[in-house]
Structure 1
Amino acid sequence: MTTPAQGSTSMTTRTFDTVLVANRGEIACRVIRTLRRLGITSVAVYSDADADARHVQEADVAVRIGPAQAAESYLKIEAIIQACNDTGAQAVHPGYGFLSENVDFARALEAAGITFIGPDVQSINMMGDKIRSKNHVIAHGVPVVPGIAEPGLSNEQLVDAADGVGFPLLIKPSAGGGGKGMHVVERAEDLPATLETARRVAKSSFGDDTLFLERLVRSPRHIEVQVLADRHGNTIHLGERECSLQRRHQKVIEEAPAPLLQSLPNGAEIRARIGAAAVDAARSVNYVGAGTVEFLVSDEAPDEFFFMEMNTRLQVEHPVTEEVVRVNGERLDLVEWQVRVAAGEVLTVAQSDVVLEGHAIEARVYAEDPSHGFMPSIGRLLEIREPSGPGVRVDSSLVEGLEVSPHYDPMIAKVIVWNADRGQALGTLDRALADTVLLGVKTNVEYLRLLIADEDVAAGRLDTTLIDRKIAGMPFRTFSSEDLALAAHALTGSQPDAPGPWGAGDGWRVGRHATSSIQLEVDGQTHTVTASRDTEGQTFGIDGELFRVKSLADGSASVNGARRRVATATSADGTAWLGIDGWGGSARQLSRQEQLQRGLASLKRDAGTASPEVRSPMPGTVIAVEVADLDLVEEGQPLLSIEAMKMEHQLNAPISGIVRLSLKVGDLVKAAQIVATVEPLSLDTTDANPHDTVEAAAQELEEAKG
């Protein structure tokens, strides 16, 4: 597939010799590729966590800017300025996220005489704040969702104003983006606690905890318009994108053109009106560069649309616009035009030149486990196979051996497809996702396939609440007995480098082959697998079934004589990873020491009772501690919260009793680390704590309940 960069017109003059890319991941790689084609020297910046990252390898120059924490590296303005000075960079491309909409960053670059490849400070200042931008467009006659948007309101003032807004309502951070910090509140009694959480997330993510409220629009559709403007008064739009498939207000699937407008007899007329409104919004702040104006459209009344915000940067989903827009028969490269406009060139594309052709869809690939509450997944990528072929484009920064870090956003790649119409594009996307192999972390690829196969999605009946309604019924694949056999084969297969039969560890002996037994852990459950070997391969016994597994020359495997399309990889900790048609799963072999420890622990508690240990499901940072050491807690009571990949995860007491913990806010924890234990209350114990005996604590608990 020809990428948009290959199909664009080159710059007629090159004002910039060197451009620094103030970002990481797939967007940094994407920008660097366009800079290389334009003959501009690219400068990458990186944190300690990204020293071996792909964007560092692909850039012409790379500069370390700090430790792993974003606040000390990618968000550190003075470090970026210093990197520009050290490398002679005349301009900075911010990508998206991080400093891309930070007005202080734009001012600092301006003061240093460095060009910001983006809008002017005035535009960022006006549109970068949701409250200010909402009030601004109201003054220009643009319809907005009812709500309260005033700076400096306290939680108490917002609670007092909530009845006037109406429930259900939506809490939104004024300085936010990407859906972070947004919360739906159905009942008035839930508002105070949710405001506290929203402020904490907003402060952590954006450095600004200002919040505002909007009435929640039921069954809404998210339609956004791509705009492009120069410094000479030329502003156009490049059609719309539909981004209605969202989870927790974070986009998952985006497409262009919008299926809603494609399905309406007057869709072209609505497209023209919403495009004109976007252009007017951009012109109202003298916007320069590429930007996106987002609207909320009621599915019940598609003729109406409400301004939500303007993103003064390149969007994650910009590739779908690049894939459908044709100018003189060629695709458009938005990054190239950002550079050209920033260099002072005239936008030579008129509105009448813009033609939309075919249909494009983008699926965001996240390092997360959808079948377990979208828990962030962290680890080292052991094997990568990205899809390719006609109509398939992959924007990623993935390389084998890359460590997926808890410090940054979990999006690790984007799969973009184009075809003549939406139905064919969905088919192309499904095949591309099925061909995707990412072993070493859990991903949402299987979930993406299930999502686009949903009958409402296939029919284009979309809204921003669809995923929340349907996630519980999605038929996620679970580890089968056959999968256990494949995992056992990956872990116990022959090792060519082993020193003869003595190092093979496969049960070899003179005479008949011995049967060995291993313990595999999958999603917290332990499975016993027996294994034996003969000249035809390995045979595994699982729950009374036998599976003969043999590796095939093409990298797949046969199970009981039938070929299975499976990719496998093993990690140093004894984990086998399987990849099958986009699904990824893992099974870890327990060591003898772990088996012994678990056996002893089970003897200390009654059969069927919950474990008193509270373990972190992921590596991360403690961001809240709700109880103190030796506090009396009830089953289900929140104990502490851990953050990884910009997501909070709350850990609760598994049983009632006395909690023991020593963590504090800011502490780092590892995956599976014990972060707390709860000692069950027992009236016949004589153990005491510094405050009281367990018997008295139990009595106190009963009195509190009464």
Structure 2
Amino acid sequence: MFTTVLIANRGEIACRVIRTLRSMGIRSVAVYSDADAGARHVRLADAAVRLGPAPASQSYLDIEAVLAAARATGAEAIHPGYGFLAENAAFAQACADAGIVFIGPEAESIRVMGDKITAKNAVKARGVPTVPGIAKPGLSNGELAAAAPGIGYPMLIKPSAGGGGKGMHVVQTEDQLAGSLEAARREAAASFGDDTLFIERYVTTPRHIEVQVLADAHGNVIHLGERECSLQRRHQKVIEEAPSPLLDEATRARIGEAACETARSVGYRGAGTVEFIVPADSPDEFFFMEMNTRLQVEHPVTEEVTGVDLVEQQLRVAAGQPLELDQEDIVLNGHSIETRIYAEDPAAGFLPTGGRVEHVRHPEGEGVRVDTALEDGLTVSIDYDPMIAKVITWGRDREEARARMVAALENTAVVGFTTNIEFLRALLQWPAVVAGDLDTGLIARAFDSIEFAVPGEREFREAALLMDAARGSSAAPWQRRDGWRLGAPAPRRFPLVAADGTRRTVLLTGTVDAPAVLPAPDDGRSGALPALVKRRGQDVTVTIGGVGRSFTAVVGPEGVQFTRLGALFDIRRVHADHSIQGEAESNPTLTSPMPGTVLVTPVADGDVVAEGDAVIVVEAMKMEHVIRSTVAGTVALHASVGDAVSRGQALAVITPEENASTDDEEGAA
């Protein structure tokens, strides 16, 4: 077994790998960019090496820098985690050439499975079912169109390289085909540097089911059951579970054997995942989609129902040891669900957020597991993927696992920026999800019916009470400005505004004792709520609990942020000169809806634009957002390509047409 292993990754997966390394007595080496210098995985590891600046291309994706770090620390092996270099054949080959063990499959297996056309043909030759279609390299748009009648509509155009839904187009009718092929080819070339396309039948109401496999270098291949990953938004998974509520035992055995055959088709070694598409109305059918030649984000649900540490198995296989598990040793026990916590705002179309974590509270309890790197004071950077933590629950059956997850999310708090916790909690209580009636389009259909929390009278009063306490408790009575006086205290007036623009004025009377006078929990019971108070500088973190649900607030004299059932409420005090930018839809000032980097400016300074024209494009966490003019007029850009911008930062100002024309007329006179 290895004595030292380097983890070529960051965040929660780096912490997860370190946990297993420590249990096996193996020395761990972390790597980090400048953005992660103070990150949790850096402190957990036995040693840490700086790779470079924050951009991944100059740090985590720099193959030579990673190999140099391994050589400098004496690491015999590198664990790639997932993302970054995990499925990079060139990196696997570079490790082999350097005499360092890559904890994963050989480079050739990654190459074959990394190209969807070669992967589809390889597994088809082994008798694994594939979606009907045409998959050959080098086909022109005309050749693809000529094959379309034999496939039938609707059909799906897919790039051979890459993933994440980029370049994928559903074509419903023949007249849509030519335009969709051209668009898909452009997008594939721009995203992956490879415009190769193929077409396959589009499966309506598809379910995304994947099978975990393990294979060693001695010819042994087993599977560890399946995971249901159908709950997705923008082709990205948000909730996964094991086993699937759809499959019966006979189908489970058949799909598991198909996954093993897929691994055998490329002489696979290590942990991998074979992804299948299953028609919801025909659950005994399944078709191969692709193979992920790495550990998956959702691997904990398989660990929870099998009791197998997949990272340990990866290490043992990479060290040349044969699998000690046979297929009959794998028994699925109970049910497990995983939710991915993202730094994003679902109510704003899942726009990335991020920023400083003022306070984090992770759930605890029976059957609850958290894989995370979050901690108080951490800055969540826009340079990387928006997933910041995972909550995993186990139950004796699916309903127990689901109920535990709902309760766990109710007691999860990330204060500082908006996350998707509230959305996940609501989704898990959606009737179709409760019933296990899933498909990859469910979130898109249900989204408009999910109501997101907005601040009400209770939230504004709580904010005022907490701000009142923060203003009054930090000074001696003669120095306080909260209305304190001998005798009855003077009323205190709090004009407040929430992040969504909602305004309320709260009038407080009585003594400054916020935790004791906060409203009782939603269950209607009375009594004071016990509070845990922690002071940091001018801000106070208050965790308030009791017989009902608890919540955590970070409060200062001028504002408060707190979470309830996953929803983040940001309420500030309004002064006489305070104005809320963006209240009117036709505001001529265009601001960034998320922290990010200016990717492109379709217009130049001084150009005239119409209402709805694209003015600037911001990119963050693998997502692009086009910011359009809300009025017609002349553009004044306040940001340039490559600029890092914050949420709410002014990017451009449009001088409306009527103002511009008046200036012209005056100048002419």
**Fold-level match, TM-score > 0.5?**
yes
Q: What CA deviation, in whole Å up to 9, does each residue of 1:623-673 have, x standing for no partner?
A: 232222233322222222211111111211111222222544322222111
Aligned partner (choices 305, 318, 329) of residue 324 of structure 1: 305
Q: Which amino acid in structure 2 is aligned with residue 191 of structure 1?
A: S
Identity, in percent, stands at 52
Greater Cα shift, 357-366 or 658-667: 658-667
Aligned partner (choices 103, 112, 116) of residue 98 of structure 2: 112
In 2, are the aligned partners of 1:485 and 1:549 still within 8 Å (CA)?
A: no
Aligned partner (choices 461, 465, 480) of residue 485 of structure 1: 461
In 1, are the aligned partners of 2:223 and 2:327 still within 8 Å (CA)?
A: yes
Q: For residue 203 of structure 2, what is the aligned residue in structure 1?
A: 217
Aligned partner (choices 531, 542, 552) of residue 567 of structure 1: 552
Q: What CA deviation, in whole Å up to 9, does each residue of 1:363-418 have, x standing for no partner?
A: 11111111221121111111221111111111111111111111111111111111
Shift of the 666–200 alpha-carbon distance from structure 1 to 2, 3 Å rule, reads farther
Q: What CA deviation, in whole Å up to 9, does each residue of 1:515-557 have, x standing for no partner?
A: 55444332341514244443264799xxxxxxx9987435679
Q: What CA deviation, in whole Å up to 9, does each residue of 1:156-200 have, x standing for no partner?
A: 987887777666554544332454565556645863785377337
Shift of the 92–661 alpha-carbon distance from structure 1 to 2, 3 Å rule, reads same
Aligned partner (choices 125, 129, 132) of residue 111 of structure 2: 125
Equivalent position SS for 1:297: strand
Q: Which amino acid in structure 2 is aligned with residue 566 of structure 1?
A: F
Equivalent position SS for 1:660: strand
Q: Within 2, Cα distance between the matches of 1:620 and 1:483?
A: 30
Q: For residue 523 of structure 2, what is the aligned residue in structure 1?
A: none
TM alignment of 1:611-626, pairs within 5 A:
611-626=587-602
Greater Cα shift, 673-682 or 271-280: 673-682
Tell whether 2:542 aligns with 1:553.
no
Shift of the 536–107 alpha-carbon distance from structure 1 to 2, 3 Å rule, reads closer
Q: Within 2, Cα distance between the matches of 1:117 and 1:557?
A: 42
Aligned partner (choices 366, 375, 380) of residue 390 of structure 1: 366
Q: Which amino acid in structure 2 is aligned with residue 480 of structure 1?
A: G
Q: For residue 470 of structure 1, what is the aligned residue in structure 2?
A: 446
Q: Within 1, Cα distance between the matches of 2:650 and 2:143?
A: 40
Shift of the 513–295 alpha-carbon distance from structure 1 to 2, 3 Å rule, reads same
Aligned partner (choices 48, 55, 61) of residue 62 of structure 1: 48
Q: For residue 99 of structure 1, what is the aligned residue in structure 2?
A: 85
Q: For residue 255 of structure 2, what is the aligned residue in structure 1?
A: 274
State the number of aligned residues: 648
Tell whether 2:290 aligns with 1:309.
yes
Greater Cα shift, 583-592 or 357-366: 583-592
Q: Within 2, Cα distance between the matches of 1:285 and 1:474?
A: 44
Q: Which amino acid in structure 2 is aligned with residue 565 of structure 1?
A: S
Greater Cα shift, 616-625 or 80-89: 616-625
Shift of the 184–622 alpha-carbon distance from structure 1 to 2, 3 Å rule, reads farther
Q: In the TM superposition, what is the alpha-carbon distance from 1:684 to its structure 2 partner?
A: 8.8
Q: Within 1, Cα distance between the matches of 2:57 and 2:112?
A: 24
Shift of the 208–393 alpha-carbon distance from structure 1 to 2, 3 Å rule, reads farther
Q: In the TM superposition, what is the alpha-carbon distance from 1:31 to its structure 2 partner?
A: 0.3
Shift of the 471–609 alpha-carbon distance from structure 1 to 2, 3 Å rule, reads closer
Tell whether 2:30 aligns with 1:41.
no
Q: Which amino acid in structure 2 is aligned with residue 500 of structure 1?
A: A
Tell whether 2:334 aligns with 1:333.
no
Q: Which amino acid in structure 2 is aligned with residue 567 of structure 1?
A: T
Q: Within 2, Cα distance between the matches of 1:293 and 1:591?
A: 58
Aligned partner (choices 621, 642, 649) of residue 618 of structure 2: 642
Shift of the 210–281 alpha-carbon distance from structure 1 to 2, 3 Å rule, reads same
Q: For residue 78 of structure 1, what is the aligned residue in structure 2?
A: 64
Q: For residue 295 of structure 1, what is the aligned residue in structure 2?
A: 276
In 2, are the aligned partners of 1:612 and 1:654 still within 8 Å (CA)?
A: yes
Q: Which amino acid in structure 1 is aligned with residue 261 of structure 2?
A: D
Q: Which amino acid in structure 1 is aligned with residue 565 of structure 2?
A: D
Shift of the 623–550 alpha-carbon distance from structure 1 to 2, 3 Å rule, reads farther
Greater Cα shift, 527-536 or 646-655: 527-536
In 1, are the aligned partners of 2:468 and 2:512 still within 8 Å (CA)?
A: no
- Structure 2: which 5+ runs fail to align? 519-525, 534-541
Q: CA RMSD in A?
A: 3.2
Tell whether 2:39 aligns with 1:53.
yes
Q: Within 2, Cα distance between the matches of 1:104 and 1:505?
A: 65
Equivalent position SS for 1:685: helix
Q: For residue 195 of structure 1, what is the aligned residue in structure 2?
A: 184
Q: In the TM superposition, what is the alpha-carbon distance from 1:142 to its structure 2 partner?
A: 2.6
In 1, are the aligned partners of 2:216 and 2:269 still within 8 Å (CA)?
A: yes
In 2, are the aligned partners of 1:549 and 1:557 still within 8 Å (CA)?
A: no
Greater Cα shift, 513-522 or 621-630: 513-522
In 1, are the aligned partners of 2:471 and 2:556 still within 8 Å (CA)?
A: no
Shift of the 115–194 alpha-carbon distance from structure 1 to 2, 3 Å rule, reads same
Equivalent position SS for 2:375: coil
Equivalent position SS for 1:355: coil
In 1, are the aligned partners of 2:472 and 2:481 still within 8 Å (CA)?
A: no
TM alignment of 1:191-590, pairs within 5 A:
191=180, 194-195=183-184, 198-199=187-188, 202-203=191-192, 210-261=196-247, 267-325=248-306, 331-495=307-471, 498-501=474-477, 504-508=480-484, 513-535=489-511, 537=513, 552-553=530-531, 565-570=550-555, 574-590=558-574
Q: For residue 128 of structure 2, what is the aligned residue in structure 1?
A: 142
Q: Which amino acid in structure 2 is aligned with residue 427 of structure 1?
A: A
